[in-house]
Amino acid sequence: MRIAAVQMVSSTRPAHNLERARDLIAQAAAQGAELVGLPENFAFMGHSDTDKLSLAEPPGHGPWQQALAQAAREHRLWLIGGSLPLRTEQAQRVTNTTLVFDPQGRCRARYDKIHLFRYEEHGPEGHKLYDEAVVLRAGDQPVAVDLQSRQGVALRLGLSICYDLRFPELYRALMRPPCDLIAVPSAFTHTTGQAHWEVLLRARAIENQCYVMAPAQGGRHENGRRTFGHTLIIDPWGEVLARVEEGEGVACADLDPARIAQVRQRLPALAHRRL
């Protein structure tokens, strides 16, 4: 199965972001992708975290969700919808949610981000505090979904979002039964990305002996934030197969089940687990 990870530099304008997402999905489809992943917060990067409260959609309804379903249906592919703010029963809390759509445009999985990012940065641009818990309600359930390639090959996709990457216990939970692919749509800060992004992604691929795709935000945004980018697709041995460093782009690679089987047979680490 050919997979594609989309990199964006999303703005404060939802309509513009949807237009760019549609175009990049089309580019991925033209390269033969059967599964496409968008980055975290692909539809909106506000000036403040509280900006997303008024834009959050109810689960199952709204223009963002409709656009994702339509794109999956139009290009006949599986679509990992980055992440969207979805409403909760609390007016001042939303979830940061990944939705997965099948080639018929049906929503087949929902994952609410479990680990909420908090980071203080002191640098040339002054003091910055990121604290997602101000407006986000954390999820509490690992989520994986079974899908099929156009050739009928069954694959298992595990879901995570950005800061989840730092918590290997989530990925261990997703490996019962083992996933063939893990998605990590992200909007890493430039500072933390420079220090930890690639090494963490490669570690998750190596220790779980599966493919990892990490669609990312990558550049300077209208709200002044700078994200790290470096969208990656990594194979089960930890080798980087495709990369987009900065700015918009599409990283494509082939997911080969035989490669997964080869790695797991040569070094049966998953079978050696004791905890």
Catalytically active residues are: 40, 113, 162
172 contacts: CB under 8 Å, gap ≥ 6 = 208, 273
Q: What's the CA gap between 253 and 2, in Å, rounded?
A: 6
Cis peptide bond N-terminal to 177, omega within 30: yes
Q: What are the φ/ψ torsions at residue 99 (nearest 5 degrees)?
A: -115, 140
- Report how far residue 47's alpha carbon sits from residue 42's, in angstroms, rounded to the nearest whole number: 14
Type of residue found at 206: I
**Residue 170 contacts residue 158 (beta carbons within 8 Å):** no
CA distance readout (Å), 40 to 6, 34, 233, 260:
10, 20, 16, 26
The count of other CB atoms within 10 Å of the CB of residue 152 is 6
Strand positions, DSSP E, the chain:
2-7, 35-37, 78-80, 84-87, 94-101, 107-112, 118-123, 126-131, 144-148, 154-159, 181-183, 211-214, 231-234, 240-244, 249-254
Measured between alpha carbons, how far is 218 from 8 in angstroms, rounded to an integer? 6
3-state SS assignment for residue 236: coil
**Six-digit token string for 3:** 């997979």
